[in-house]
Amino acid sequence: MRGVTCGYGDRIILSEISVDLPRGKVIGVMGTSGGGKTTLLRLIGRQLTPISGQVLFDGVDLATLDRVGLYAMRRRMGMLFQFGALFTDLSVFDNVAFPLREHTNLSPTMIRDVVLMKLEAVGLRGARDLMPSEVSGGMARRVALARAIALDPDLIMYDEPFAGLDPISLGSASRLIRDLNHALGVTSLVVSHDVEETFAIADHIVFIANGRIAAQGKPAEIRESSDPLVHQFFTAAPDGPVHFHYPAVPVAEDFGAGGKA
């Protein structure tokens, strides 16, 4: 990203962001709620276009692509949505087969082989005939990951992959992200609030706060950041740059004589 400013209507979310996401690495994107992490993902997929600046994927400015070019570029990206976002009326097999049927001309036999290979990679080949309602939350997340890698993307984006998982499922998810990144040679972009799991698997951390890049670097470097907001986030301090109390009039004005509801 080169000098990217982006927002919704008159509300600016990211301001003059410049950042490089290193190829072949696991990159953790962290920061306070509402700070612009999911907006970053939407910019990369060109669901949003910046007000100013450039979003470059493999050297190509996404804003210059026509519909055909954009769809071709998106086929090089995989997306794991929060809580999986599986198609509830399709089986595990058909969920993973969906992008292959939509975007390739592979034969049914070839699609079957690819789907089974992807399910094997996430440990769920035996669950291929189950429906999403018949699998656990952790299993559903792994099915969604198999779907995200079905087209062998260059970039996989994970939006809160650890949210709502029990410790066993969480450990499996983090190991899968790391192992698949290595085995497939992809770039993995992990948006997460889970400090320990993200730091355990990430090669590079980008910390977003107040519409800017507050810090970036290796996990050990981020832990040593002198930025007060970064320090508050990683120490879970209840007060600091992010205050416990939402701005309000003085207490005496609300509770004193003549106070109004």
Q: What is the pLDDT of residue 12?
A: 86
pLDDT tens digits for 42-72?
899 898 889 999 999 988 999 999 999 999 9
Average pLDDT of the chain is 84
Q: Is residue 241 a contact partner of residue 228, using CB atoms and an 8 Å limit?
A: yes
> Higher confidence at residue 132 or residue 36?
132
Which residue ranges make up each domain of the chain? 2-76+153-255
**What pLDDT, on the 0 to 100 scale, is given for residue 239?**
62
Note the pLDDT tens digit of each residue in 102-125: 888 899 999 999 999 999 888 888
Residue with tokens 């198999």: 146
Strand partners, 155: 77, 187
What's the mean pLDDT in 13-38?
A: 86
Characterize the bridge pairing of strands 187-191 and 155-159.
parallel
Strand ranges, E, within the chain:
2-8, 11-17, 26-31, 52-54, 56-57, 60-61, 77-80, 155-159, 187-191, 204-209, 212-217
Q: Which residues contact 64 (CB under 8 A, 6 or more apart)?
A: none
- The DSSP symbol for 85 reads -
User: How many residues make up the chain in this entry?
Assistant: 261
Strands (E), 82-231: 155-159, 187-191, 204-209, 212-217
Residues 177, 190 contacting (CB under 8 angstroms): yes
Q: For 128-178, how does the pLDDT look when each residue is reduced to its tens digit (9 = 90+)?
A: 999 998 988 888 888 998 998 888 899 999 888 877 777 777 788 888 888
Confidence at residue 131, expressed as pLDDT on a 0 to 100 scale: 93
Taking residues 236-250, what's their average pLDDT?
65
Q: Assign a CATH topology to domain 2-76+153-255.
A: Rossmann fold (3.40.50)
Q: In angstroms, rounded to a whole number, what is the distance separating the alpha carbons of residues 45 and 97?
A: 21
Number of neighbours of residue 185 by Cβ within 10 angstroms: 11
User: In this model, does residue 241 exceed pLDDT 70?
Assistant: no
pLDDT at 198 over 60: yes
Percent of the chain clearing pLDDT 90 (strictly above): 26
pLDDT in tens, 221-235: 887 777 777 777 776
Report yes or no on whether pTM surpasses 0.85: no
Q: Beta-strand (E) ranges in 144-203?
A: 155-159, 187-191
Per the rule left: phi > 0, alpha: psi between -120 and 50, beta: everything else, 205 is beta
